[in-house]
Amino acid sequence: MTGSTLAIALGANLGDPAATLTTVRPRLQALLAAWGGEPLARRCRWSPLFRTAPVGGPPDQPAYVNAVLVAGPLPVSTPDPRALLEALLALERAFGRVRGERWGPRLLDLDLLWCGTCRLQEPALELPHPRLAQRRFVLKPLAAIDPALCPPGGKGAPAPSVAQLLARLEAVEPPPRRLPPRPGWPE
């Protein structure tokens, strides 16, 4: 199933992060319609919102609110994922994102996790996302959508499900905590 989908991770920890993600949601859907067509934008599956502890970055930064969106199937002629990344970065900037310290606090973070079967290893974009299998704040929302979902990963061996990937992670940081549904984010 992931071969015909794309996934985007959403996160924020400055201002009102839940309100930011709720506000960006329709704009992200419009962005997907512009990039991949209206049918793609209508086939979005959204995770619930999760509160998560920061991973890496400066100490004492606020907790994050994270979510994931999986959309697909992709159009037969999938547009360039680089163009999608540029649109995601422009959306971050529209919400006031200024790239500074790595893994530092942010108003909005949008990460392209995978885009169909595309494999890229470029300075600006790696697909699938190189740390996808190591991030509870991504895997937990993906598991809320579908625990049997198998993100693209290594070559050769069958891809593990998000539930299997979560089970492999050591509980170094507190587990993401699911937030209650809210207007604009009913999941």
DSSP 113-159: EEETT--EE-SS-EES-TTGGG-HHHHHHHHHH-TT-----SSSSPP
pLDDT of residue 98: 81
Per the residue annotation, which of 27, 99, 109, 119 is the catalytic one? 109
Is 16 considered catalytic here?
no
Per the residue annotation, which of 42, 45, 111, 119 is the catalytic one? 111
| Total tally of structural domains belonging to the chain | 1
Angle between helices 81-94 and 17-36 (to 10 degrees): 150
Q: Which domain holds residue 72?
A: 2-178
Is 45 considered catalytic here?
no
Return the CATH number at 94.
3.30.70.560
| Burial of 123 per CB tally in 10 Å (0-12, 13-18, 19+) | exposed
Is 109 considered catalytic here?
yes
pLDDT of residue 156: 55
pLDDT of residue 25: 97
pLDDT of residue 28: 96
Contact between 152 and 114 under an 8 Å Cβ cutoff? The reply is yes
- Overall pTM surpassing 0.75 (yes/no): yes
pLDDT of residue 172: 65
Is residue 124 in a domain? Answer: yes
Per the residue annotation, which of 106, 135, 146, 182 is the catalytic one? 106
Is residue 142 in a domain? Answer: yes
Per the residue annotation, which of 97, 146, 177, 178 is the catalytic one? 97
Alpha carbon 167 to its chain's center: 19
Is residue 184 in a domain? Answer: no
Is residue 138 in a domain? Answer: yes
Is residue 187 in a domain? Answer: no
Q: Alpha carbon of 170 to those of 144, 175, 176: distances in Å?
A: 19, 10, 13
Is 131 considered catalytic here?
no
Q: Which residue ranges of the chain lie beneath pLDDT 70?
A: 1-3, 154-158, 171-173
Is residue 185 in a domain? Answer: no
